[in-house]
Amino acid sequence: MKKIRITPLVRHTYPELIERYENPMTAPCDTVIGRVYVSENAKKPEHFCSAAWRVLAPYVKTLAEGGGNFYDGWMKNPHSAMLSCDDGFRPVTFLVETVED
């Protein structure tokens, strides 16, 4: 299986939605933008957000097994995907890509 690099690129925050709908939280998201994680054998990297992993895991597995070209050429690099976690208050966008050996 191929190694997969996961890089959080950007986080958007929607304070008006947080104020209106979210219960107060002390540490809702600790993902560090720019930190690089590596998945080996399509497993969740240590200290990676479990909620984000549920979204990314199927893509990581496909890439680790040599697949790609999601949605008929959506990405310039067919061995990558641009994905966001499903946190509606502060979604993080990740670049998921095969590590070339």
pLDDT in tens, 30-86: 899 999 999 999 999 999 999 999 999 999 999 999 999 999 989 999 999 999 999
Tell me which residue range forms the domain holding 8: 4-98
Mean pLDDT along residues 9-37: 92
Q: How many residues does the chain have?
A: 101
Q: Strands across the sheet with 80-84, in order?
A: 37-39, 4-11, 92-98, 80-84
Number of domains, the chain: 1
The predicted pLDDT at position 12 comes to 95
CA-nearest of 70, 42, 53, 62 to 8 is 53
Full-model pTM? 0.92
